[in-house]
Amino acid sequence: MSSCLEDYIVYDGINSRDLGLLVVEINSGMIEMPFGYSRSILEEEVGLRDTPYFFGVKSNALELEITFCNDEFSEWDMDTRWKINRWLYKDRQYKTLILGDNRDIVYYCMPVGDPKRYDNGNKKGYITIKFRCNGPFPYTKTVMEVYDYTKNPSNTIEIRNMSNVLNYYYPEVMIEMTDDTEVSIINLTNNNEEFKFIGLKKGEKIYINNDLKQIKSSLEESGIYRLNNFNKNWFRLVQGKNRIQIKGNVKVVIRTSYPISL
* Residue where a domain terminates, one of 118, 139, 160: 139
**Beta strand 154-161 pairing with 237-238:** unpaired
Domain match, 165 and 218 both: yes
Helix (H) or strand (E) holding 108, with range, is strand 102-119
Tell me what pLDDT residue 36 has.
63
The reply to whether 79 falls in a domain is yes
**Beta strand 125-133 pairing with 237-238:** unpaired
Amino acid at 89: Y
* Residue where a domain terminates, one of 97, 124, 139: 139
Domain that holds residue 16: 2-139
pLDDT surpassing 80 at residue 93 = yes
- Confidence category of residue 77, pLDDT binned at 50, 70, 90: confident
- Cα separation, 187 vs 237, in Å, equals 8
For 241, other C-beta atoms within 10 Å of its C-beta total 11
136-179 tens-digit pLDDT = 989 999 999 999 887 665 678 999 999 999 899 999 999 999 88
Check: CB of residue 131 under 8 Å from CB of residue 125. Answer: no
Tell me what pLDDT residue 101 has.
73
Give the alpha-carbon dihedral of 86, 114, 106, 242, to 10 degrees.
-150
Domain match, 163 and 127 both: no
Give strand ranges (E) for 1-79.
Answer: 2-4, 9-11, 14-15, 21-26, 39-44, 53-59, 63-70
177-207 tens-digit pLDDT = 988 799 999 999 999 999 999 999 999 999 9
Domain count, the chain: 2
The reply to whether 261 falls in a domain is no
Domain match, 117 and 16 both: yes
How would DSSP label each residue in 174-211? EEEESS-S-EEEEETTTTTEEEEE-S--TT-EEEEETT
3-53 tens-digit pLDDT = 555 588 999 999 999 998 888 876 555 555 556 666 667 667 777 677 777
The reply to whether 262 falls in a domain is no
* Residue where a domain terminates, one of 96, 112, 139: 139
Check: CB of residue 230 under 8 Å from CB of residue 165. Answer: no
- Confidence category of residue 1, pLDDT binned at 50, 70, 90: very low
